[in-house]
Each structure stands twice: as structure tokens, then as C-alpha cells.
Amino acid sequence: MIGVRTAHPGRARTALLCATALLGTVLPAGGAWAATGAGAAAASCVASPEPTGGEAKQILDIAKATQKELDLNAVLLRVTRDGREVVTVALGESMTGVPATADMHFRAGSVAIVYMGIAMLQLVEDGKADLDDPISRWLPDAPHADEITLRMLGASTSGLRDYVPDPKFLAALYADPFRQWTPQQLVGISAAHPLLYEPGTSWSYSHANFVLLGQALEKISGMPLAKVMERQITGPAGLDNTRNSFTPQIEEPVLHSFDAERGKYEESTYWNPSWTTAPGAVLNSHICDLARSAEVVGTGELLTPQSFKVQLDPGTVGLGGNTPGCAPKDCFRQLPARHFGYGVIVQNGWIQSNPSFAGYAAIQAYLPSEHLAIAVSTTVGPKGPETNTAQTIAGRIAAVLTPENSLTG
């Protein structure tokens, strides 16, 4: 399975972004979040009443069993069909003695690269750029600027090495996880290495691509990236609880994270995410916004049909292990089974993103053939696995609801 390890350096928990976990309980209902379209009025995000049967009960049972099995501090999830809530769940604790709630905010990680991809495609629709323009037109000082195009940045086919595995970067990051990194420092690490391949000839995920894509968006739009994201994506989509932060701050209420990647289990909630993507696209969200985001991205709501087609396959099929071949049952527009699109992962008909950062893990996934959205966010206990545990839960839910459209392989 293609897993974009965004914001996951080295031996830490997979990416990109309390000592024990209590047995989870579903919190009392207070009026489910029910925004179902772009521009819908913001509403509270709360857990559903505890279900007694049907799909909602199956989903809750999966979440509870997996929380216990994987030693998860907290599990937040929301499933919708046709934009309507199936179930919203909050299990476990944010911190010792502090119950997790559905309205708690967490790092949204690589969801930002999906939004940057959409924003760039919108600018192309407006005639302000062409995906095959070299980035030298806007970023003349970028590495290999005459060879790399806007398409290659968003599709991750530039050949730029990922700076995250670089030993010197890892050493500096682990020595000071609160450090503020600049785009120049991050891209400079990638630029110090030779290209992995001639641009456009293969595929490999690199955080450097999206740092540069963010800078290009600013140049082309003439606006700061945070304003681009708000004006073109989160505002029109009604994602009122998805916001950029230029600091490690997370909006209250906060789902706290804990992590063991530095060799000891410690709180990591406010580790600095500045190295994960471009400034202006360091996003925090909550589970209801994440489910709505899955719907927006998975339906192509903010794009023309032609641009949506490009987002799902900008020419990456067959490159670097991106698997050709139609997905099982109801293959959505004959998409390949598994590949990376323009900032998104496409797998067995699902359109998804699976961010991880410093003890946080999440996934947003949408299956167009079933009009089904799954959003999960998790935090780990001291015995939690070094995998994206949110992806594990979503995969188990998909196996029950849509067994012919796997999210796990």
C-alpha cells in the first residue's frame, strides 16, 4: 500500500505529523455536527449517542477493540454517507483524567498537500499558470528550477530527495523538536544531494516538493499561502475548524499527543511542525472537519471535472511503484488500483490522505462509488505500534462496510 510518510522522521511513528489509555466510552450526544455542503453554517462537533445496532454499532465496536489492542490513548472518528452522519465517536483520553471529545483539535499534516494541490489546479483553471511550466518562472533560485515543473512538484515526480531521512536533519530535529525551520533550510538539505532520477521519469515522495509548491502558490496568486488556503479551500468548503498556525500552537480544545521516537515516551503535542510543509499550510483540524474534508476532496467539489481528473492522475501511474490496473468493484472512472495523484493517494477507489506527526495519526478517505467518508484521528499509549493506527482503524471499518474496496492493501 502506498503510505505517504509525511512528517515521520526515521524510526518514529509513521507519517507524513498520558501514561495509560482508559477504556473508551462514547460521550453523550449534544447535537451531531451536520454541515453537509460548502458554506454550511458551522455547528458543534460532538459524539453520537451510543448506537445499539447497525453500521454505527459495528464501527464503534471496531474502534473500541482496536483502541484496546493497539494501546491507543484516544480514538476520534466520524463516518458519513451522502454527507450525512453515520456515527461520530470519541474514545479514551487526551491526557490523564481528561476525556477525549470529538471537538478536540489535532495536527492535520499532509491534508495540507491535498489542499495545495487543489489550489494550484484552481490557479491553472484561472489561466494564471500551466502545470507544465518550469518552476523557474516563479522560483528562479530553486534547485533544478529549469527542469522541474509545477506538475512534478504536486505529483512528487521531481526527483528531489526527501530531506526527512537525512541523518544530519534527523539529528538536529531530535536534539531540538521545538526548533523553527525555514523553507530555505529544508529545501537546502534536499538540494545538497543529487537528484534521485531525471525529473518526471519516476516517483518518490519528498517533503521538499510541497515546501516549493507552497512558495510557488504564493508567487502565482500574489497572496500569502495561509490566505490562499483560506480563500480557495477551507472557506468555500466550510472548514471553519481547519486553520493554519505559524507557531506550534493548536486551537483549544486540544487532543494531546505522546510519542517515543526520541527514545522515551514523552508529550509531543507542541513539538514544532514547521519542518513538515510550507509555512502557511501547517494545519490543525477536528474530526468533523476532517470528514467534511474527505467529502470535499473525494467529490472534486472545488474543481472542474477536468481538473479533478488531473488531480486523481497527473501522469504518475506506473512510475516508482504506482500500480496500474483497475480497482475492484465499481472502479471509479477506471482509476488505477494504487497510485499517488496530485497531492492525494488513490487506492482501490478510495481518495485519501494519511498524515502522521509526533504521536498523532489520522486519515481522511472517501469512496465515490458509495458516497462514503471515513475520518479517524488517534494518539498512542506507551505500547502503541509505530504505524499509522488511524489507517488501521479506517481499514477495518472499510473491510466491514465495503469489503471489495480495501483501504489496507
What domains appear along the chain, each with residue ranges and CATH number? 54-401 (3.40.710.10)
Residues 363, 375 contacting (CB under 8 angstroms): yes
Degrees to nearest 5, angle at CA 404 with 403 and 407 = 75
Assess whether the previous peptide bond of 253 is cis (omega < 30° from 0).
yes
pTM: predicted TM-score of the whole model, two decimal places: 0.88
Cell numbers placing 203: 516517483
So what's the pLDDT on residue 317? 86
Cell numbers placing 268: 509531543
Phi, psi of 218 (to 5 degrees): -65, -45
So what's the pLDDT on residue 318? 86
User: What's the CA gap between 82 and 103, in Å, rounded?
Assistant: 22
Q: Write the pLDDT tens digit of every residue in 333-382.
A: 444 568 999 999 999 999 999 999 999 999 999 999 999 999 999 999 99
User: What's the CA gap between 53 and 131, in Å, rounded?
Assistant: 49
Residue 30: count of CB within 10 angstroms of its CB = 13
Q: 373-383 burial by CB neighbour count: b if 16+ within 10 A, else e?
A: bbbbbbbbbee
Cell numbers placing 70: 493497539
Mean pLDDT by 10 residues, the chain (409 residues): 36 29 27 32 81 96 98 98 98 98 96 98 98 98 98 98 96 97 98 97 96 98 98 98 94 97 96 97 97 98 97 91 54 60 94 95 97 98 94 97 88
Give strand pairing partners of 93: 99
Q: Which amino acid is at 1?
A: M
Phi, psi of 262 (to 5 degrees): -95, 10
So what's the pLDDT on residue 34? 28
Cell numbers placing 1: 500500500
Cell numbers 509505530: residue: 386
CA dihedral 264, 270, 272, 276 (to 10 degrees): 90
- Cα dihedral sign, 19-10-282-395: negative
User: What's the CA gap between 159 and 202, in Å, rounded?
Assistant: 7
Category of 127 on φ-ψ map: left (φ > 0), alpha (ψ -120 to 50) or beta: left
Q: Write the pLDDT tens digit of every residue in 159-213.
A: 999 999 999 999 999 999 999 999 999 999 999 999 999 999 999 999 999 999 9
Q: How far is CA 318 from CA 157, 202, 210, in A?
A: 12, 8, 21
According to DSSP, the β-strands at 258-259 and 84-95 are unpaired
So what's the pLDDT on residue 102? 98
Q: What is the 3-state secondary structure (H, E, C) of the chain?
A: CCCCCCCCCCCCCCCCCCCCCCCCCCCCCCCCCCCCCCCCCCCCCCCCCCCCCHHHHHHHHHHHHHHHHCCEEEEEEEEEECCEEEEEEEEEEEECCEECCCCCEEECCCHHHHHHHHHHHHHHHCCCCCCCCEHHHCCCCCCCCCCCEHHHHHHCCCCCCCCCCCHHHHHHHHHCCCCCCCHHHHHHHHHCCCCCCCCCCCCCCCHHHHHHHHHHHHHHHCCCHHHHHHHHHHHHHCCCCCEECCCCCCCCCECCCEECCCCCCEECCCCCCCCCCCCCCCEEECHHHHHHHHHHHHHCCCCCHHHHHHHHCCCCCCCCCCEEEECCCCCHHHCEEEEECCCCEEECCEEEECCEECCEEEEEEEEHHHCEEEEEEEEECCCCCCCCHHHHHHHHHHHHHCCCCCCCC
